[in-house]
Structure 1
């Protein structure tokens, strides 16, 4: 997941500049203004997505680590079941 996020941020880095006009009359100036606004909005939303995706990755990694620790604790508890019982087991079915 972090590799995918790195690819996304690598592709979007450096694209935060403005949009230039292609002419000196009203149509290209208005077009450049509207494209610039759309570009700024898209950059903002991509930034918000990246932040949310980073938070998601962190939560998933934390959950995976917690699950692994819980699984190890459960295995340890299960392997200790029956230790110290009196009288000791005498048949295989009692182990």
Structure 2
């Protein structure tokens, strides 16, 4: 079976797909081009895989965020980073338009 071109294309931001697991939005990103994980020069390979989880609390005033990064070339094991976002009624959320490539 021939491999589709999109299955082999890598971009700096990769290709993401999401799903709901209960009330948690899970976004998996792969096909990320090799480069740098952050502005400090931490390298990443083309084998990097990122899983983000967004979970609101009961009253939806806060969203807990956890990202799991796996890259067997540069890291000996997967690692998690966590933070949270607090909803402020006066804040506006603006759409982000993804570019077609």
TM-score range, shorter chain: under 0.3
Larger Rg: 1
Higher strand share: 2
TM-score (norm 2): 0.18
TM-score (norm 1): 0.19
